[in-house]
Structure 1
Amino acid sequence: SEAEGRSVAGALNFDPTPDAQTLYKAMKGLGTDEQAIIDVLTKRSNVQRQEIAKSFKAQFGKDLIDSLKSELSGNFERLIVALMYSPFKYDAKELYDAMKGERDNATFYVDPALALQDAEALYAAGEKIRGTDEIQFITILCKRSAIHLLKVFEEYQKLAGKSIEDSIKSETCGSLEDAMLAIVKCTRSVHCYFAERLYHALKGAGTNDGTLIRVIVSRSEVDLNLIKAEFKHIAGKSLSSMIM
């Protein structure tokens, strides 16, 4: 369905073990694979992120949030850590929404007034001021359900005369920008996001095997057929033809 392709879906046979292993490898040794962290955490529901944290602790004996805090810095750290917090740390309305289902439930009631309020808050935090209140962006992108965010993005476009993506690109940079854009893209269409990641991994000189393997393995039992369809739309040729 159209709604199915719009947001982060809770995989029916979700296994947190490989995600926890990917995060561990991303933070092991010198340097941090920030893209791998973005790929894992922005593509899972909050409930699934809690399962990943439990698996991380069980496998490696370390607290995932503590590990992320020690490896990351600045507002990128704030955003990633915010993603990891349980919805029970949110206010009463967010708790109520969280109890009704995961982020992909298209039957959520969207409060138009709250969506407009969020859009106005984002606009005031970025385009209307000199500098950017990045914490406001992080708070709204991490706390709101996907179906609510779609309405926020629609209202934001009307207010700013530009897309939320364009504002993020002009107001932020680096890993924080990458993570914010990943959240927005996954809210709009998780399948399109993965298709683009595969396309960029395959095109040009050489293949980014890490990205390719991570995407195919993580989605192989979830929605790879939908990703293949998006890939063909983006690339003009099938995924299998480019892999071969």
Structure 2
Amino acid sequence: MDPDYFKSYDMCWGTLGTVRPFSNFYPERDAEEIQAALEKKDTLNLVRILTNRSNAQRQVIAKTFEELTKKDLEAALKKALSGDLESVLVELLMPPMQYEALRLQQAMAGLGTDEETLMEILSTRSGTQLKEISAAYKQLYKKDLEKEVKGETSGDFAKLVVALLNKENGFGVIQRDVESLAASLNGKKADATPWINILTSRDSDHLNKVFMGLELQSGQMVNELVEKRFSGDFRLGLKVLVQCIQNPDVYLAKRLTTVKPPLLQSIMVAHSEEDLLCIRAAYRKQTGTSLYTALQNQFKGDYLHALLAICRSED
């Protein structure tokens, strides 16, 4: 990649995201440069600007662009670009909770449901964020997210995803929760209800202490207990939830090593302003290779430039 590519980047550091607010922000200038880049199909400048502004700044740019040109920026990008580059730049334009609503809709669209993506989003977002995502889903698709989720899932897995969608941290006693989970595993068929109730209504610090107590009592790791005692979609969902409670960065990094490019892109975009630095560190620890290098080995051209700009740097 051209070493001069990032010379104009002026970031203000201090969060766990890789994409930060641009400190020398002039939306009128950005809108004019984007207009010129679209006319010339100057993809490098489009990538430079849109990956080097926070999402809030991109919203201002989009509004300013529309005032300047009387055109919608998303539509203009779709007209000028195609393929993976179009996809990632359009996704960067979406407000974060609308973007997660889109990801949920895509996970439930067509034949079959992408259960793991459903669980990934529901397990890594707070109760407050999930309420915002539900509102965004209603606005975008004129449908109730909870009803859609119920229609696409069944059994204990449906109960789990609905409970996560409505999760609120409540009060629990560690030893009592340990005993409830242990007792649920004693019968011939494990009882899913305590796992749903407890794991969707306690904070992660509390639950990690519960897991430690359960492991001491059973002599087995929590993920081993889940693997042995549950089955089907519910087992998958519970495994994802347990991993996200224990360490969401490790789970997401593991996901990046196994997923197809569209899902890799969606995780990077969704977490670029929150915790992608942590995910990058976990990826390096798991694979022995930085995410930045892995991207260079897998992709090329303007799309690679965009992904590297979101990733930001080597580890």
TM class by shorter chain equals 0.7 to 0.9
**Which of residues 213, 220, 226 is equivalent to 2:265?**
213
2:262 and 2:234 map into 1 onto residues whose CA distance is 21
2:113 and 2:204 map into 1 onto residues whose CA distance is 28
Matched, 1:224 2:224: no
Residue 180 (structure 1) aligns with? 238
Deviation (angstroms), 1:30: 2.2
Aligned length: 206
- Please state whether the residue corresponding to 1:32 is helix, strand or coil: coil
Summarize the alignment of residues 125-204 of structure 1 with structure 2, pairs less than 5 Å apart.
125-126=184-185, 128-201=186-259
One-letter amino acid of the structure 1 residue matched with residue 274 of structure 2: V
State whether residues 215 and 221 of structure 2, in contact with CA within 8 Å, keep that contact through their aligned partners in structure 1. Answer: yes
Residue 120 (structure 1) aligns with? 179
State whether residues 168 and 180 of structure 1, in contact with CA within 8 Å, keep that contact through their aligned partners in structure 2. Answer: yes
1:142 and 1:122 map into 2 onto residues whose CA distance is 13
1:210 and 1:179 map into 2 onto residues whose CA distance is 21
Structure 2 unaligned spans of 5+: 1-14, 17-55, 57-94, 297-315
Larger Rg: 2
Runs of 4+ off more than 4 Å:
none
1:74 and 1:132 map into 2 onto residues whose CA distance is 14
Deviations 1:116-135 (A, max 9, x none): 11011101101x22110011
Residue 102 (structure 2) aligns with? 21
Deviation (angstroms), 1:86: 5.1
Summarize the alignment of residues 47-58 of structure 1 with structure 2, pairs less than 5 Å apart.
47-58=128-139
Deviation (angstroms), 1:174: 2.6
1:188 and 1:86 map into 2 onto residues whose CA distance is 17
Residue 102 (structure 1) aligns with? none
TM-score by length of 1: 0.79
- Please state whether the residue corresponding to 2:248 is helix, strand or coil: helix
State whether residues 96 and 270 of structure 2, in contact with CA within 8 Å, keep that contact through their aligned partners in structure 1. Answer: no
TM-score by length of 2: 0.62
State whether residues 177 and 210 of structure 2, in contact with CA within 8 Å, keep that contact through their aligned partners in structure 1. Answer: yes
One-letter amino acid of the structure 1 residue matched with residue 155 of structure 2: G
**Which of residues 62, 72, 96 is equivalent to 2:143?**
62
One-letter amino acid of the structure 1 residue matched with residue 148 of structure 2: S
Matched, 1:32 2:113: yes
Identity %: 30
Deviations 1:170-229 (A, max 9, x none): 11123212221222111111111111111123xxxxxx1132112111111111111111
1:230 and 1:164 map into 2 onto residues whose CA distance is 21
State whether residues 50 and 86 of structure 1, in contact with CA within 8 Å, keep that contact through their aligned partners in structure 2. Answer: no
Structure 1 unaligned spans of 5+: 6-12, 98-110, 202-207
State whether residues 120 and 159 of structure 1, in contact with CA within 8 Å, keep that contact through their aligned partners in structure 2. Answer: no
1:231 and 1:27 map into 2 onto residues whose CA distance is 28
